[in-house]
Amino acid sequence: MSKVVLVGANHAGIAAANTILDHYPDNELMILDRNTNLSYLGCGTALWVGHQIDSSDQLFYTNKEDFVAKGADIHMQTNVTRIDYESKTVFYEEDGVAKETSYDKLILATGSTPIAPRLPGMDLEGVHFVKLFQDSQKVDALLAQEHVKNVVVVGAGYIGVEMAEAARRRGKNVRIVEAADTCLSGYYDPWFSHDMDKVMSDQGIELNYGEMVTSLEGDGTVSQVVTNKGTYDAELVILAIGFKPNNDLGKDHLTLFDNGAYLVDLHQKTSDDSVYAVGDCATIYSNALHQTTYIALATNAVRSGIVAGHNIGGTPIKSLGVQGSNGISIYGYNMVSTGLNLAAAEKAGLDVAYTEFEDLQKPGFMDENNNVKIRIIYEKESRRVVGAQIASYTDISMGIHMFSLAIMKDVTLEEIQLLDIFFLPHFNQPYNYITMAALSATE
């Protein structure tokens, strides 16, 4: 029997804990987490804040009692202060009392922290990140205040776009300020992201692209956002610039990736044989790049936790790598992607081409029908698919899973061209948009 200490209990930590408790009950598991709650589904924040769901209750899928019932020794509102890796000792503070515990195996699931720009006015009231459940509660409460009429969202990634929709649904004047020239540029090519820009503009969201925030102004409470191009009223500022790995507990001992994440192998093991790292604090292997990278997604976190749990339990399994599959739905417009977009492929030094197609989802005689667009990105020499993007008001999300598998298996564009795809008017056209995109390749 081994003693396993798990630091951090959100998605990755929970997956690791459940794997150990369910499959390897002979191990002693101690869980340390500094929060008051477990398993908050942050991806549902905008739905709750935007009043698209009734409450936040179902955004939690487990609790402390579930782990106690399985035999875990779990400590909430407990802050780990340091780790002595030589003596395998974790030092922590609980209820104001300094304590320590030993371990045979250690799992770091410390997640990520929001990127906080060094701007004048960051300490003003009304300036918020959206990471924890408590952050969401504060933003929700402010949106209920009559004096909050103008909301500025800084950053047009997934969280920024979703929170802009949520605030607009609450009847606020909403403005997005983003340094790039379009939204969602880390995931989608402009052919797609400009469509989402129009969706937001049509709903009254102001888009200020190519702008950098220089300061936040106000007398105790934020009242204006100043950029390099203008000044905008704001009683609420939501910062959604991105996240960085939380490596405070191991940065001086463990090998780090170039962005500060713990460098792990396919077993989730760090440079210390007794230490595993999972979730947003750790690296991941990209099948599109064929190399280690960093992709902070909840789905990746869960898979990494499962892998670590089995390896610690004694079953040596390897991660299959990831593609970074993701999706977003704003005002009913759905966009999904996997692998690399053109900008990411170029940054990685890949010589790629792309093929695309746009048409109605179903035959023209079908009443319920929407336009659909698709782009497939592939390496010119090997012909292997390295990325795909699909968008429509129809739910086309399941199609991206096929491309995720294609990237993982190094499927070529020619294999996609001859893929057996069924036809039925209720679902698609005789010449499916996936087939047509693949057949339309000119390089």
Q: C-alpha distances in angstroms, 256 versus 20, 114, 154, 335?
A: 26, 19, 29, 33
Q: Which of 387, 402, 334, 395 is nearest to 356 (CA)?
A: 387
| Helices assigned H by DSSP within 314-358 | 342-347
Q: Which of 399, 112, 380, 291 is nearest to 388 (CA)?
A: 399
Q: Which residues pair with 250 in a beta bridge?
A: none
> CB within 8 A of 236, min separation 6: which ones?
126, 128, 139, 142, 143, 148, 150, 151, 152, 167, 172, 222
Residue 70, by phi and psi: left (phi above 0), alpha (psi -120 to 50) or beta?
alpha
Residue 115, by phi and psi: left (phi above 0), alpha (psi -120 to 50) or beta?
beta
270/262 Cα distance (integer angstroms): 7
Q: C-alpha distances in angstroms, 219 versus 121, 138, 285?
A: 9, 20, 47
Task: Find out whether 92 and 47 touch, Cβ atoms under 8 Å.
Answer: no
The single residue of 23, 43, 194, 253 carrying the catalytic annotation is 43
11 is catalytic: yes
Q: Which of 190, 416, 196, 187 is nearest to 324 (CA)?
A: 187
Residue 88, by phi and psi: left (phi above 0), alpha (psi -120 to 50) or beta?
left
The single residue of 11, 75, 128, 310 carrying the catalytic annotation is 11
385/400 Cα distance (integer angstroms): 12
> CB within 8 A of 37, min separation 6: which ones?
60, 63, 76, 133
Catalytic sites, residue numbers? 11, 43
